Homo-oligomer: A and B are copies of this chain.
Amino acid sequence: MEDPEDGRPRCDEAVSLAFSVLGKRWNGMILDALSGGRLGFSAVRRAVTGISDAVLSDRLAELTGVGLVSRHVDAGPPLSVDYALTGAGENLIPVLERLGEWASENLSESGSTDR
């Protein structure tokens, strides 16, 4: 027998699921950057200050993998690739806004110039 609802506090599964993607560095910021519309690789890099090419490439692939971002290639001739939020990704936008409000009201700019 396991213990079904044993009263012991636990982190909510859904929240845990959310942070399996948002709890990794940059992911939230990338999604936020894309909330304004589709962007090319370099545009995302510029929007998310501090991220490196290698990591960005990795993150975009990951976000695409979980279905929050879609990748679209236009074989021009001037080949161009752009990334955009999927429906699931767009649903996150309002939550990100709430998060932003919370941060600016409850988190001091200083505090963690860590890393």
Q: Which of A9-43 contact B (CB under 8 A)?
A: 9-30, 32-33, 36-37, 39, 43
On A, residues with C-beta under 8 Å from B are 8-30, 32-33, 36-37, 39, 43, 46-49, 62, 65-68, 87-88, 91-92, 94-96, 98-109, 111-112, 114
Count this chain's copies in the assembly.
2
- Closest B residue by C-beta to A33: B11
Selected contact of A18 from candidates B11, B14, B19, B103, CB within 8 Å: B103
Contact (Cβ within 8 A) B21 A23: no
- Closest B residue by C-beta to A10: B47
CB distance from A10 to the nearest CB of B (A): 5
CB distance from A80 to the nearest CB of B (A): 16
A-B contact list, 27 entries, CB within 8 Å? A9-B33, A9-B36, A10-B33, A10-B49, A11-B30, A11-B47, A12-B96, A14-B101, A14-B103, A15-B32, A17-B103, A17-B109, A18-B99, A19-B22, A19-B25, A19-B29, A21-B112, A22-B22, A23-B24, A23-B26, A65-B112, A66-B111, A67-B108, A88-B107, A92-B102, A95-B102, A99-B99
